[in-house]
Amino acid sequence: MQKEKIFEQLTKQIDKCRTCRLCKTRNKAVPGEGNLKAEVVFIGEGPGYNEDLQGRPFVGRAGDLLEGLLRIIGARRNDIWIGNVVKCRPPENRNPMVDEIRSCKPYLIEQLRIINPKLIIPLGRFAFEHFFPAGKISRDHGKAFRIGERIVLPLYHPAAALRSEAVLQQLKNDFRKIPRLLHSDSEEIIAVTRHPKDENQMLLI
Ligand code: URA
């Protein structure tokens, strides 16, 4: 089956998912959107107020900032794919709970398998932990990790950058690494290994 068709079916499944408690309070699930041929994907934490109403990722203030950052590197939303760790809004924008993240995890794994991007950019702690449970965003932001054919570049979440000028500057600096990572092998990239029991999880070494 075509990639687009498989993705569409997965999206429909997410739209009607009732696997965890977040389905009871959501307006719309937010499966993710963008270019299925993208070399770069961004993964956020979970939908906020605006995303929940529209069923689209990063359409609020954090989304505006993300679009501004993309412009710095000459990219637009259409060039990339954007998704989230949890597809439904946690009430009052609280942190997603461990069991909510666990039940949503297979969706993100499948989305990334289908898109097969070169560069994955987890935004913030929860997205980073999807790949590296022992990762620490304050320590590891802006470091590029190679996992097989892919590179993972954790960055601060744009919402954190909206609250702190220092984080915003750091995020801008880290963002400028994206084109280099896509187009050359010269960047210092840290090798990582897969988790022995869960091949979708990586271990920092
Ligand atoms: N923050 C996120 O992590 N994801 C969104 O989709 C919007 C804001």
Q: Secondary structure of 33-55 in the HEC alphabet?
A: EECCCCCEEEEECCCCHHHHHHC
Q: What is the pLDDT of residue 187?
A: 55
Q: What is the pLDDT of residue 1?
A: 72
What dihedral do alpha carbons 57, 63, 68, 73 form, nearest 10°?
-30
- Atom number, ligand 1, closest to the C-alpha of residue 158: 1
- pLDDT classification of 189: cutoffs 50, 70, 90: confident
- Mean pLDDT over 19-47 rounds to 98
Contact 30, 87 (CB under 8 A): yes
Q: Kindly state the helix (H) or strand (E) to which residue 165 belongs, with its residue range.
A: helix 165-175
Residue 83 near ligand 1, beta carbon < 6 Å: no
Q: What is the pLDDT of residue 184?
A: 63
- Mean pLDDT over 53-69 rounds to 98
C-alpha 46 – ligand 1 centre gap (Å) = 5
The tens digit of pLDDT for each residue in 89-138 reads: 999 999 999 999 999 999 999 999 999 999 999 999 999 999 998 899 99
- Cα dihedral sign, 90-118-172-71: negative
Contact 82, 34 (CB under 8 A): yes
Q: How far apart are CA 168 and CA 161, in angstroms?
A: 4
Longest Cα–Cα distance of the chain, Å, equals 48
What residue owns the CA closest to ligand 1's atom 7? 58
C-alpha 5 – ligand 1 centre gap (Å) = 25
Residue 55 has φ and ψ, to the nearest 5°, of 75, 20
C-alpha 34 – ligand 1 centre gap (Å) = 14
Residue 52 near ligand 1, beta carbon < 6 Å: no
- Atom number, ligand 1, closest to the C-alpha of residue 59: 7
- In terms of Cα–Cα distance, which of 152, 157, 19, 145 is closest to 88? 19
- Percentage of the chain with pLDDT > 70? 92
The tens digit of pLDDT for each residue in 124-181 reads: 999 999 999 889 999 999 999 988 889 999 999 999 999 999 999 999 999 999 999 9
Residue 140 near ligand 1, beta carbon < 6 Å: no
Q: Higher confidence at residue 31 or residue 187?
A: 31
C-alpha 179 – ligand 1 centre gap (Å) = 23
Q: What is the pLDDT of residue 149?
A: 84
Residue 84 near ligand 1, beta carbon < 6 Å: yes
Query: What letter represents residue 100's amino acid?
Result: E
pTM of structure: 0.94
Q: What is the pLDDT of residue 205?
A: 47
Q: How far apart are CA 57 and CA 50, in angstroms?
A: 9
Q: How many CB atoms lie within 10 A of CB 147?
A: 16
- Atom number, ligand 1, closest to the C-alpha of residue 50: 7
Residue 90 near ligand 1, beta carbon < 6 Å: no
